[in-house]
Amino acid sequence: MDLGTDDPVLVLNSGSSSIKYQLLHPRTSEVVAAGIVERIGEPEGGIEHRTGGQRIEQREPIADHSAGLRLVFEMFARTGRDLTRAGLRAVGHRVVHGGEVFYRPTLIDDEVLATIDELSVLAPLHNPANVAGIRSARALLPGVPQVAVFDTAFFHGLPAAAKTYAIDAKVAAAHGIRRYGFHGTSHEYVSGQVAQFLGREPAQLNQIVFHLGNGASASAIRGGRPIDTSMGLTPLEGLVMGTRSGDLDPGIVPHLMRSAGLDIDAVDALLNRDSGLKGLSGVNDFRALQELIDAGDPAARLAYDVYIHRLRHYLGAYLIDLGGVDVLTFTAGVGENSPAVRADALAGLQRFGIAVDPVRNVAKDRVARRISPDDAPVAVLVVPTNEELAIARAALALVIQD
Ligand code: ADP
């Protein structure tokens, strides 16, 4: 992509208790500095700031997102960079839910911000934090264009049959109930990288992408456009995740409320924070899970088996949805780093043209690579995701076109 300028962009990913940030040059992909503010609003917060081989950690309570962002500015100042004079061309914000309204990178003004805030009803765990991050950034960098890049955007045009839940259509319409999909920035970026890696046009490819991080999602992409994805109205649906259940019988919700006496917030917390790998094994981090499995822990083993079982369900569904697949790709923390997951997810599928080369699979390269044998009909790839770079590029492309 020729963006025409090498001006830096600040990317902010504001979560409920954290702010991840990067200052980077979208044209060259050079990262100038990156870091994370953690445990905002808790008694013991902190920041970790990395730049040019230097790593600074500081522990202190951080009252809110505004205080968190001020601390980020302080870190930049301490390492010789005044962010207010850094020639920032834009601030790119990751925004989780764009609802039906936003499906392109969008320049943020008061009205856009108010709408993102209203969409909190669809993403109560995410959009309020995104709004807090945007408000703070606008206050600290008043002259710099602020751009929202939505996690749902890539999936906006899902086919009707894939995005529609089979519930009362009037109720669904009144409450914005449809499948929106998330991790869109990653699925779009990675599927583009896949086409480049294979030297093919996106239009020629049927792809399945597995984004397996703390959150996890799958997508089926035909000719560069998604035709299905595993996350739905919220990022709770689909694959088994670190702390989220993924798919379950919706009847479990009223059953828990009636039988276990849980109120709706307790059910929400159970399914979002205390389920998935953590609910089954006690740990949400995949490396910790693997250690427990190696130590012979049966609950961890079961959690892993459920995780793989669900992955294979989506693989099977998307193979059929697409009518055959050219390339399967693994990305994000688990997808990029766990040979076991990749091998187990694709085991015994030779009759579908899917195979993993055991030597290629365990290579530790940090770049896009093929892990299937050269002569396998389906290419299996590992492609590092880079949501920050994708957000920075989208933000810059928008502001230079204006
Ligand atoms: P997030 O959704 O927070 O962006 P990441 O994409 O960073 O998440 O993925 C985090 C997950 O990746 C964690 O479960 C972590 O244990 C897992 N992970 C990171 N490195 C490895 C590794 N070498 N082997 C297995 N899992 C790993």
Residue 337 Cα to ligand 1 middle (Å): 7
Ligand 1, atom 8: closest residue by C-alpha: 213
Closest CA to 306 of 339, 336, 278, 273: 278
- Which residues lie below 8 Å from residue 362, measured CB to CB, with a gap of 6+? 339
- Distance, in Å, from the CA atom of 191 to the CA atom of 113, rounded to the nearest integer, reads 29
Ligand 1, atom 27: closest residue by C-alpha: 334
With the most atoms of ligand 1 within 8 angstroms of its CB, the residue from 210, 287, 387 to mutate is 287
User: Is 214 a pocket residue for ligand 1 (Cβ < 6 Å)?
Assistant: yes
Q: Is the pLDDT of residue 1 over 60?
A: no
pLDDT tens figures, 157-181: 999 999 999 999 999 999 999 999 9
pLDDT at 273: 93
Residue 246 Cα to ligand 1 middle (Å): 17
Q: Which of the listed CATH numbers 3.40.50.620, 3.10.450.50, 2.60.120.380, 3.30.420.40 matches domain 9-150? A: 3.30.420.40
pLDDT at 401: 81
For the chain, give the mean pLDDT.
96
Ligand 1, atom 3: closest residue by C-alpha: 214
- CATH topology identical between 9-150 and 199-382: yes
pLDDT tens figures, 275-285: 999 999 999 99
**Of 123-132, 175-184, 289-298, 333-342, where does mean pLDDT reach its minimum?**
123-132
Q: Is the pLDDT of residue 115 over 60?
A: yes
Q: What is the CATH number of domain 199-382?
A: 3.30.420.40
Percent of the chain with pLDDT over 70: 99
**127 is annotated as contributing to ligand binding:** no
Whether the predicted model's global pTM rises above the 0.75 cut: yes
User: Is 309 a pocket residue for ligand 1 (Cβ < 6 Å)?
Assistant: no
pLDDT at 133: 95
Active site residues: 151
pLDDT confidence band for 16 (50 / 70 / 90): confident
Residue 333 Cα to ligand 1 middle (Å): 3
Q: Is the pLDDT of residue 360 over 60?
A: yes
**94 is annotated as contributing to ligand binding:** yes
Residue 242 Cα to ligand 1 middle (Å): 9
**What ranges do the domains of the chain cover?**
9-150, 199-382
Percent of the chain with pLDDT over 90: 94
pLDDT at 116: 97
> Which strand ranges, in their side-by-side order, compose the sheet holding 9-14?
54-59, 46-51, 30-38, 19-25, 9-14, 90-95, 146-150, 106-107
The CA dihedral of 278, 280, 285, 289, to the nearest 10 degrees, is: 150
Q: Is the pLDDT of residue 119 over 90?
A: yes
Average pLDDT over residues 212-221: 97
pLDDT at 374: 96
Cα radius of gyration (the chain) = 21
